[in-house]
Each structure stands twice: as structure tokens, then as C-alpha cells.
């Protein structure tokens, strides 16, 4: 039942957000070690060897992402820390931002050394008022103590970090939309390729890494790749921050090795379902991944196992629902989210999410027809794979997966013209 204390090592300490904590000190020591002991290319090799995969959602190998940046271009290379945490059910980056901002800065120094970056950005969502304040204070403190700026940590390296506060748009968590927003435009995704590694911010090579991803770096540098791969599974190594929400007794963030069984996470760490109720369904990786049911509780929480079980690890935001939850209303709730947050650039997504909402609303209100279920799947087929960015595919996921696993909820709503889930 013990949790890991790696990224969350000092979060319980008073004023854990200041430079004077062991975690902050350890982070800058690791950054110093990275600069002194690893030439950039060897540092990229170390991160490749560690098997670290992106914690934002896609799970792409971080070292490989870094190695796509072309070398010896006359243009600068930029690093952007993606702190635009907005995936429904995910609140682990907020913990790292509010409680250990120096760990993020240390990770950014390490990444900047590997990528020869001299100017880096942190894009934080506008609603994170305290987080933005803590980050700016930490950046100021780091400059004052010689941990940022010219000749940082006495290493000869220069790095500036600019904090950018967003203004409310889920899509800006998608990396090319984030870059558009950072350039002062509407946050609408770009067509890929070219990928940001070659054409990113201001047309220059750019690497975008999630907050949690960056926080892993000081620990890998300090303890080595072998230490890191000893945690988790072969293809999904390391610790992971799981955000658990919904109908459990102890909602919160749990730091555990990748591959922890889903049932253990829900019933042991999070204390199980609230009193007097029983488990019905779980979305294991943020709202954009397929829902799972009771027969999936043995699945291990790593990228491969969840994919085999028909879902995805995504952002590791675990939303738990008990028997009072109606899947029609859950689907409607999430589709309202996707409809509201669709950036409007691609017609299938902009219009299709509206169709979803209208049709689900009709079913929820007891006015649905059985043909509506086919209509939902038809709309789904017209969005999937037909949009610039993964948002379209994400939007169809709640509808498709909830219909597949809980078709009865939908049919009952239509036939009996009311909800049969006991609320």
C-alpha cells in the first residue's frame, strides 16, 4: 500500500515550492550533473535508455522525440513545457506545479542542455492562478540564486524561461494549437507534418514536453537509466501520477509504478467505491479514452496492457462511476465538453460534436428512437480520422465506447422513455 515518493518526494513539506527544499536542491544538482557529465547527444541517449515516455497523453518516447530535432541549423531551438492541464479527470500536473515548481525548472534545464535550447517557455492554463504565481516566484528565485539566466549553476550554459498564461481553451493542450496560441493567434491545430521538432514556434525547431515528463528528468540523471527501468513494466517504465476521481472514497493523486492493476488502484489506494454502492464503470486515462467495465479491473495500468484491453492510458486520469451513473448522461456530459471545446477549424468535428449533443439530449430526455443509436455511430464514422488533430477521435470515444459496453443504458432510455439507473 506504500506509494512511491519520487516526483512527489517533498510535496508534504512546508513551503515545498521554495528553492530551500531537498527536492529543489536535488533537482538543480542533477541539472548540474547533466551539464557537466553528459554532452547533449549522450544525454539524449541516456533518456532513450531510460525508456521515459511522455506523460501528457500520447506516451511517445521522450528521447526519440528529442532526437528528431535537426542539428546545426542556424535557427534557435525552443523548449515548451506544456502546463495546460485540461483533460477531464486529470489534476496531477497541478500538484507538481503548485508544490514543486523548481523540479519543473530543473527538468527544463536538463532538456534545454540536451537540445541546446537558450529560450524556453512554460504554457500554463489561465485558470491555474496559484500555479502561475508559484511558477513565476520560482523562476524569479532561480534567477536570483544563479540557477537560471547567464552561466547558470556556474556551468557556462545560458537559459531564459518565460512563463505564458493561457486564457481558457482545452485545445491549447494539443501541441500545435499551443504553439499557435503562444505566437498570438487563435489556438487552432496545425496540419502535421511538418512536426514541431522541425517547424515549431516561430518556424523554428521546438520540443513540447508535459510537466510530469520534465519532472522525471532530474531523477533519471541523478539515479541512472537502470534504476529507472527497474520500476514499472518493460515498455512503460518509471513512476506515474494517477489522478483518481468520481465515486471512490479517497479521491486524489497517487504516485505508483506503471503497471499497477486498475482494481488495486481503485479498491486499495483510493479506498473503493463510496459506501452502499457498487462499481459500474471506469474511464482510465482522461475523458478521451474508452470506458472500461467490471471485467477489466485486472488490467494493468501501462500503455500496452490498457491498449490490449481496448482502452488507453492517456493522461492517467481515472474517473470511477458507480451503479447510479447513467451512461447516457455521462456520454452527454462529455460530448457537451467536446462540443464546447471544439476549435471549429475542421467541419466534421465542429458540426459532428453538435449532432452528438442534440441526439444524446433527445435520448436522455426520453424522446429518442432506436435509429438514433445508428445515427450516433454514423456521425462517429464521419468524424474519426477526418480531422487535423486527435481531438475529433477523442470526441467520438465516449460515444462509441459507452455504446459498446453499456448499450442497455441507451436502449432502456429509448424504450422505457426514462432513466433506469438508480440515482
Partner 1 sequence: MGVEAELRERMEVTAARFPQRLSAIIPILYLVQQQYGHVTTEGMELAAEVLGTTPAFIDSVASFYTMLYRQPVGKYVLQVCRTLPCALMGAEEVVACLQEKLGIQPGETTPDQLFTLATVECLAACHVAPLMMVNEVYKVHLDPAKLDAIIDECKHGTTPHSDAIY
Report the residue number, 41 or 268, with the smaller CB distance to partner 1. 268
d(CA 119, CA 132): 19
Can residue 333 be called a binding residue for partner 1 (CB under 8 A)? yes
Q: What are phi and psi of 236, to 5 degrees?
A: -130, 75
Question: What residues from 76 to 105 belong to the interface with partner 1 (CB under 8 A)?
Answer: 85-91, 93-95, 98-99
Which of these ranges, 160-168, 225-233, 352-360, 382-390, lies near partner 1 under the rule CB under 8 A?
A: 160-168
Site for partner 1 in 178-207 (CB under 8 A): 181-187, 202
Q: Which of 167, 415, 420, 422 binds partner 1 (CB under 8 A)?
A: 167
Instruction: Find the binder of partner 1 among 149, 168, 365, 385 (CB under 8 A).
Output: 168
Contact predicate 243/318, CB 8 Å: yes
What is the spatial order of strands in the sheet that 252-257 belongs to? 252-257, 239-246, 317-322, 279-283
One residue of 33, 49, 251, 386 binding partner 1 per CB under 8 A = 251
The terminus-to-terminus CA distance of the chain in angstroms comes to 32
Give 256's strand partners.
Answer: 240
Cell digits of residue 390: 486527435
E-assigned strand segments in 125-156: 149-152
Q: Of 113, 125, 296, 413, which one interacts with partner 1 (CB under 8 A)? A: 125
Contact segment (CB under 8 A) with partner 1 among 31-39, 162-170, 348-356, 360-368 equals 162-170
The answer to whether 401 contacts partner 1 (rule: CB under 8 A) is no
CB closer to partner 1 out of 287 and 387: 287
Name the residue nearer to partner 1 (CB basis): 76 or 263: 76
C-alpha to C-alpha distance for 82 and 211, rounded to whole angstroms = 6
Per rule CB under 8 A, is residue 330 in the interface with partner 1?
yes
Size of the site for partner 1 (CB under 8 A): 59
Q: What gap in Å lies between CA 109 and CA 43, rounded to an integer?
A: 12
Q: Which residue lies nearer to partner 1 by CB, 29 or 127? A: 127
Q: How far apart are CA 40 and CA 36, in angstroms?
A: 10
How far apart are alpha carbons 291 and 57 in whole angstroms?
Answer: 16
Beta-ladder partners of 283 = 319
Interface characters, 288-327, with partner 1 (x: CB under 8 A): -----------------------------x-x-x---x--
Q: CA-CA distance, 379 to 351, in Å (whole number)? A: 9
d(CA 35, CA 271): 43
Q: How many CB atoms lie within 10 A of CB 39?
A: 11
For residue 251, count other CB atoms closer than 10 A to its CB. 15
Residue 269 found at the interface with partner 1 (CB under 8 A): no
Query: 378 near 355, Cβ under 8 Å?
Result: no
* Contact flag: residue 140 with partner 1 (CB under 8 A): no
Q: How far is the CB of 360 from partner 1 (least distance, A)?
A: 13
Query: Contact letters (x/-) for partner 1, 339-378, by CB under 8 A?
Result: -xx-x-----------------------------------
Which of 138, 244, 346, 405 is close enough to bind partner 1 by CB under 8 A?
A: 244
Given candidates 147, 153, 253, 394, which one binds partner 1 under the rule CB under 8 A?
253
Per DSSP, 157 falls in state: E
Q: How far is CA 60 from CA 54, 63, 236, in A?
A: 5, 9, 10
Name the site residues for partner 1 (rule: CB under 8 A): 11, 85-91, 93-95, 98-99, 119, 125-130, 162, 164-170, 181-187, 202, 243-247, 251-253, 283, 287, 317, 319, 321, 325, 329-330, 333-334, 336-337, 340-341, 343
Amino acid at each position: 500500500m506504500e506509494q512511491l515518493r519520487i516526483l512527489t518526494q517533498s510535496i508534504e513539506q512546508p513551503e515545498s515550492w521554495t528553492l530551500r527544499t531537498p527536492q529543489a536542491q536535488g533537482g538543480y544538482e542533477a541539472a548540474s550533473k547533466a551539464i557537466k557529465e553528459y554532452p547533449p547527444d549522450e544525454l539524449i541517449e541516456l533518456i532513450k535508455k531510460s525508456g521515459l515516455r511522455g506523460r501528457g497523453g500520447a506516451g511517445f518516447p521522450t528521447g526519440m522525440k528529442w532526437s528528431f530535432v535537426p542539428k546545426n541549423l542556424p535557427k534557435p531551438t525552443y523548449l515548451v513545457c506544456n502546463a495546460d492541464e485540461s483533460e477531464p479527470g486529470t489534476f496531477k500536473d497541478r500538484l507538481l506545479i503548485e508544490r514543486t515548481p523548481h523540479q519543473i525548472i530543473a527538468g527544463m534545464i536538463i532538456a534545454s542542455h540536451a537540445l541546446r535550447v537558450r529560450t524556453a517557455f512554460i504554457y500554463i492554463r489561465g485558470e491555474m492562478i496559484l500555479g502561475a504565481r508559484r511558477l513565476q516566484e520560482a523562476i524569479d528565485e532561480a534567477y536570483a540564486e544563479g540557477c537560471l539566466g547567464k552561466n547558470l549553476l556556474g556551468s557556462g550554459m545560458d537559459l531564459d524561461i518565460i512563463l505564458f498564461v493561457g486564457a481558457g481553451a482545452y485545445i491549447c493542450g494539443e501541441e500545435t494549437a499551443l504553439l499557435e496560441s503562444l505566437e498570438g493567434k487563435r489556438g487552432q491545430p496545425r496540419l502535421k507534418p511538418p512536426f514541431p521538432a522541425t517547424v515549431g514556434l516561430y518556424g523554428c525547431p521546438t520540443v513540447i514536453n508535459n510537466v510530469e515528463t520534465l519532472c522525471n528528468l532530474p531523477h533519471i540523471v541523478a539515479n541512472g537509466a537502470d534504476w529507472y527501468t527497474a520500476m514499472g513494466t518493460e515498455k512503460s517504465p518509471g513512476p506515474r501520477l494517477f489522478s483518481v476521481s468520481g465515486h471512490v472514497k479517497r479521491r486524489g493523486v497517487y504516485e505508483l509504478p506503471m503497471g499497477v492493476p486498475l482494481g488495486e488502484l481503485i479498491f486499495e489506494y483510493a479506498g473503493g467505491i463510496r459506501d452502499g454502492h457498487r462499481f459500474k464503470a471506469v474511464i482510465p486515462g482522461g475523458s478521451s479514452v474508452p470506458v472500461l467495465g467490471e471485467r477489466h479491473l485486472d488490467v494493468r495500468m501501462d500503455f500496452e496492457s490498457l491498449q490490449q484491453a481496448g482502452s488507453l492510458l492517456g493522461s492517467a486520469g481515472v474517473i470511477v462511476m458507480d451503479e447510479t451513473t447513467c451512461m447516457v448522461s455521462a456520454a452527454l456530459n462529455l460530448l457537451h465538453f467536446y462540443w464546447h471545446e471544439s476549435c471549429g477549424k475542421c467541419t466534421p468535428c465542429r458540426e459532428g460534436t453538435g449532432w452528438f449533443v442534440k441526439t444524446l439530449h433527445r435520448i436522455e430526455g426520453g424522446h429518442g428512437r432506436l435509429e438514433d443509436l445508428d445515427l450516433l455511430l454514423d456521425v462517429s464514422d464521419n468524424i474519426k480520422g477526418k480531422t487535423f488533430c486527435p481531438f475529433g477521435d477523442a470526441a467520438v470515444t465516449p460515444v462509441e465506447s459507452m455504446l459498446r459496453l453499456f448499450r442497455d443504458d441507451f436502449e432502456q432510455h429509448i424504450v422505457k422513455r426514462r432513466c433506469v439507473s438508480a440515482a
